[in-house]
């Protein structure tokens, strides 16, 4: 049997602690399955004296995580610090420069620096394992990089943030407002103290940038992604969507569009009959459309100690077995530089909710604006209310471009009778 695979783990928070516990509990089984033992040689974290629910065993404490990259008793650096820059980036760079393999759960780091780190890893004949960076316990990276390697990916979309999915599910089921459900999500540990990355769509965008680059073999500049969160969704939107045959989900979507790639994050109305509509609570779900296999659907827990630690250890086990992969399906130098298709050129059907003063001529003004932009209305709903009282108007459009709809929204928002910023949600054919 080969010598043991020696790990240096940086970060002992929820995920790092989960990895330590999983390695200790399943050490014998992993040794049998990988053909060699896996041991933790050294660890580093912010506070050495913090009480922890696991033992460090024989692992040596290192004050600076950067020192892990230079240790002779570390074969693989496991980066679980987080953050797109700073010490996490420097640690990964130093580890690769030293010829050490890297395993990370850091989605922000890879969304911003993936191509550069991939090129460095290839130059140093190292591998980067990052299954835990996207969708927790769902093996979507392995699916794209290995299981679907003979397929041409045409489209992928999914629910990639459990916090947002929990909030939207609860709003639909209970009728409570966004702020109330978000507060509860914080109390339950589903949302961070500062939840803006989650509810604003940034976390989903980080994951989508990684998936899109992997699936389509193209650079996906994170800064070019269209990103919209769920802050403006109201319980009324949930009710109207259901009546129209839809459910509202925050989606990350990427697709081939001609010779380019389109990628974006936003809330969407999805048909109640679609598998993605059934993914509730804190779960994640991803659909991949490819040729020749067709449609592949994956669902599972997207975050938390157990699922994320499982994904980290799966990458470690691959390295222990000698299963080495490029970061992308193709080499980093072969990634296409076509750029993202402009979001303004994409075509959608739309759901539009307006709160207006109920007086003669309001609907005529709204429909005239849309007619002038050559946007056709599929349906219009106006619940009955007392005269001069604010009422919602819900409009479904036929297909039009994002740019045309953006222009119409500006004009409608400027109407005196519109008393609240309109809520616009795209309708996805999924």
CATH number of the domain bearing residue 251: 3.30.360.10
Same domain as 21, residue 91? yes
Q: Which residues are bridge partners to 400 per DSSP? A: 348
| Residues in the chain, pLDDT under 70 | 1, 384-389
- SS3 category, 309: helix
Residue 145 maps to a domain: yes
Same domain, 180 and 252: yes
Bridge partners, 426 (sequence order): 268, 350
How many residues are given for the chain?
430
Among 249, 279, 302, residue at a domain's last position: 302
Pairing of strands 347-357, 423-427: antiparallel
Give domain status of residue 225, yes or no.
Answer: yes
Mean pLDDT rounded to a whole number for the chain: 94
129 and 169 in a single domain? The answer is no
For residue 320, tell me if it sits in a domain.
Answer: no
Question: Is 156 within 8 Å of 254 (Cβ atoms)?
Answer: yes
First to last CA, the chain: 49
Q: What is the pLDDT of residue 387?
A: 56
How many whole angstroms separate alpha carbon 5 and alpha carbon 75? Answer: 6
Q: CA 7, CA 10: separation in Å to the nearest integer?
A: 10
CATH code of the domain in which 32 resides: 3.40.50.720
The structure tokens listed for 397 are: 């459009």
pLDDT at 339: 79
Q: Which of 302, 335, 356 is the last residue of a domain?
A: 302
Please indicate, yes or no, whether residues 245 and 214 belong to a single structural domain of this protein: yes
**Residues contacting 257, CB < 8 A, separation 6+:** 341, 346
Annotated catalytic residue within 107, 142, 207, 249: 207
Shared domain check, 274 and 146: yes
Nearest 10 degrees: Cα torsion 147, 21, 25, 163:
-50
Residue 40 lies in a domain: yes
pLDDT at 374: 95
Q: State whether 67 and 93 are in the same domain.
A: yes
207 classed as catalytic: yes
pLDDT (tens digit per residue) in 26-67: 999 999 999 999 999 999 999 888 989 898 888 999 999 999
**Residue at 28 is within a domain:** yes
Q: Residue 188: inside a domain, yes or no? A: yes
Query: Is position 184 within any domain?
Result: yes
- What's the confidence (pLDDT) of residue 134? 96
pLDDT on residue 304: 87
Number of domains, the chain? 3
Which of 84, 100, 133 represents a domain boundary (last residue)?
A: 133
In this prediction, residue 230 carries a pLDDT of 97
pLDDT at 384: 66
Mapped onto helix, strand or coil, the DSSP state of residue 295 is: strand
Task: Please tell me the predicted confidence (pLDDT) of residue 303.
Answer: 84
- What is the tens place of the pLDDT at every residue in 193-202? 889 999 999 9
Shared-domain flag, residues 153 and 292: yes
Distance from C-alpha of 263 to C-alpha of 176, rounded to nearest angstrom: 31
The reply to whether 94 and 233 lie within a common domain is no
The CA R_g of the chain, rounded to the nearest whole Å, is 24
Query: For residue 193, how many other CB atoms are within 10 A of its CB?
Result: 5
Do 242 and 97 fall into the same domain?
A: no
Residues 37 and 104 placed together within one structural domain of the fold: yes
pLDDT of residue 372: 96
C-beta separation of 139 from 276 below 8 A: no
Name the residue among 356, 353, 402, 413 with its Cα closest to residue 375.
402
Domain of 58, in residue numbers: 5-133
């Amino acid at each position: 049997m080969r010598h043991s695979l020696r790990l240096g783990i940086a970060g002992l928070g929820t995920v790092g602690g989960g990895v330590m516990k999983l390695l200790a509990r399943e050490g014998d089984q992993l040794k049998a399955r990988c053909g060699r033992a896996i041991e933790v040689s050294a660890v580093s974290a912010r506070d050495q004296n913090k009480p922890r629910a696991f033992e460090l065993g024989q692992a040596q404490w290192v004050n600076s995580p950067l020192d892990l990259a230079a240790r002779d008793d570390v074969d693989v650096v496991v980066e679980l610090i987080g953050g797109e820059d700073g010490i996490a980036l420097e640690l990964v760079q130093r580890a690769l420069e030293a010829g050490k393999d890297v395993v990370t759960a850091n989605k922000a780091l890879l969304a911003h620096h993936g191509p550069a780190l991939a090129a460095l890893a290839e130059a140093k004949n190292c591998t980067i394992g990052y299954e835990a960076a996207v969708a927790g316990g769902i093996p979507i990276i392995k699916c794209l990089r290995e299981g679907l390697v003979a397929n041409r990916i045409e489209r992928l979309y999914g629910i990639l943030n459990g916090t947002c999915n929990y909030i939207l599910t609860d709003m639909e089921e209970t009728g409570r407002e966004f702020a109330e459900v978000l507060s509860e999500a914080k109390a339950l540990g589903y949302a961070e103290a500062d939840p803006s990355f989650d509810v604003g769509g940034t976390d989903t965008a980080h994951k989508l940038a990684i998936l899109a680059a992997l699936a389509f073999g193209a650079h996906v500049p994170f800064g070019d992604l269209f990103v919209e969160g769920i802050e403006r969704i109201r319980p009324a939107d949930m009710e109207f969507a259901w009546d129209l045959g839809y459910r509202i989900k925050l989606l990350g979507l990427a697709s081939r569009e001609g010779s380019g790639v389109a990628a974006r994050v936003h809330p969407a109305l999805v048909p109640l009959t679609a598998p993605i509509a059934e993914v509730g609570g804190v779960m994640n779900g991803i659909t991949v459309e490819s040729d020749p296999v067709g449609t592949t659907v994956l669902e599972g827990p997207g975050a938390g100690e157990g699922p994320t630690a499982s994904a980290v250890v799966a990458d470690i086990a691959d390295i222990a077995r000698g299963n080495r992969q490029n970061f992308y399906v193709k080499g980093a130098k072969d990634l296409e530089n076509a750029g993202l298709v402009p979001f303004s050129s994409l075509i959608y059907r739309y759901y539009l909710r307006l709160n207006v003063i109920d007086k003669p001529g309001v609907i005529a003004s709204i429909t005239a604006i849309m007619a002038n932009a050559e946007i056709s209305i599929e349906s219009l709903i106006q619940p009955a209310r007392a005269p001069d009282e604010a009422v919602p108007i819900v409009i479904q459009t036929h297909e039009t471009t994002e740019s045309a709809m953006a222009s119409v929204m500006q004009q409608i928002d400027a109407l005196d009778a519109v008393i609240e910023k309109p809520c616009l949600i795209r309708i996805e054919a999924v």
